[in-house]
Amino acid sequence: MELFTIHTGNFKLDGGAMFGVVPKSMWNKLNPADENNMCSWAMRCLLVQDGKRLILIDNGMGNKQDAKFFGHYYLHGDDTLEKSLAAHGFTSDDITDVFLTHLHFDHCGGSIKWNADKTGFIPAFKNAVYWSNPLHWEWAVKPNAREKASFLKDNILPIQESGQLQMIKGNGETQLPFSVLYAHGHTEAMMLPKIMYKDRPVVFCADLLPARWHIPLPYVMAYDVRPLESLKEKERLLTEFVNTNTVLFFEHDPGAECGTLIKTERGIALEQTHALKELFS
């Protein structure tokens, strides 16, 4: 098995929304905001090569939305999904599986693209199986008012219409070379892949721990639909992670790909940040 970091670009979100109840006087020292209170965040994905399978975990925002949409999120930087895949010697046609942690636009928008004449949508990965789970899929196609702006039909329904969608069962076991941890605080039945890589667990943290700064328990995003559940999930899983020497892979941290944990007198904290390649070289 090999793991590759895939960069799909950066975008901006409101700092207060990303840090929840934590005061700006504290979080602004971590990820300084611009004049509009917006902070820059990564959309970092993970590629798992296992034998003949090439599994992409999440795929960023995509590029099919209109200028008004991108005007809200300030997509920036030189990275794209296609360029990052190519840097590792792959194309979208090589992808055998697309694993979607959840269906918010910044995690699944790259799943679907325009057809050649821009009259409709087609899967961006024509040879891949797309993986979701029944609880989250139902939640996403019938969205609540709080999350409706994050669940875009053009990102979601064409996956099912293509016939390439399959569902993962709720016990955490998969037909993929990793298991799944479920979290329900950010959104219903978000899935965190847990990968044994070179005899060490690696967890793709998705939006449970979007960045290293979200490791302290009170740092819960205002986007979370059940913030107290997120807090409990963080406490439970961070304890598991530190006890098992787990590597955390951060999807949205603008500067750190991975992190390791340490126990301190004040609780579990970030020990060090690492590049994935350097950590396992």
Region class of 127: left (phi > 0), else alpha (psi between -120 and 50), else beta: alpha
* Partners of residue 39 on adjacent β-strands: 13
The residues, ordered by sequence, that sit 6+ positions from 73 with a Cβ below 8 Å of its Cβ are 11, 12, 13, 61, 106
pTM above threshold 0.85: yes
Query: Which pairs from 153-160 meet CB under 8 Å and 24+ separation?
Result: 154/64, 154/65, 154/112, 154/121, 155/62, 155/103, 155/105, 155/108, 155/109, 155/111, 155/112, 156/103, 156/108, 158/112, 158/121, 158/122, 158/123, 159/111, 159/112, 159/123, 159/130, 159/132
Task: Report all structural domains of the chain as residue ranges with CATH numbers, in order of start.
Answer: 2-204 (3.60.15.10)
Region class of 28: left (phi > 0), else alpha (psi between -120 and 50), else beta: alpha
- Find, among 200, 185, 188, 178, the residue nearest to 237 by Cα: 185
Q: List the chain pLDDT tens, one digit each, 281 residues.
A: 999 999 999 999 999 999 999 999 999 999 999 999 999 999 999 999 999 999 999 999 998 988 888 888 999 999 999 999 999 999 999 999 999 999 999 999 999 999 988 889 999 999 999 999 999 999 999 999 999 999 999 999 999 999 999 999 877 788 999 999 999 999 999 999 999 999 999 999 999 999 999 999 999 999 999 999 999 999 999 999 999 999 999 999 999 999 999 999 999 999 999 999 998 87
CB 190 within 8 A of CB 102: yes
What are the CA-CA distances from residue 12 to residues 27, 42, 118 (Å)? 15, 9, 27
